[in-house]
Structure 1
Amino acid sequence: CEALGLDARTTPLACVLEGGTWAAGRVLAQRLRGGTPPLSIDSDGTVF
């Protein structure tokens, strides 16, 4: 963090973990899916 000018108060561990896991996982998932949604639903539009 020092190379970026950040310290422990401005960069809590939760932010580091989120950036390294959740965000990276979403980017990889989108690439693997080819930009399509994670769930494909075949529907005629009926809502009940």
Structure 2
Amino acid sequence: MVPRTADQGDRRPPRDRQPANEQLYKEAQTKNLEGRSTMSKDELRRAVGR
């Protein structure tokens, strides 16, 4: 797989700068977001506003 660059539409930060799933879950928990336990990492990231 060839890495995508920003001009190719990938707007996410590099993997080493992305929050871990556990971090996202904890943030969702503090915001009391419903359904967080079944959300994927991308869904959690969108839900907490990252």
Q: Could you state the TM-score of these two structures normalised by the residue count of structure 1?
A: 0.25
Q: Which has the larger radius of gyration?
A: 1
Structure number having the greater helix percentage? 2
Q: Could you state the TM-score of these two structures normalised by the residue count of structure 2?
A: 0.25
Higher relative contact order, chain-length normalized (CA < 8 Å, sep 6+): 2
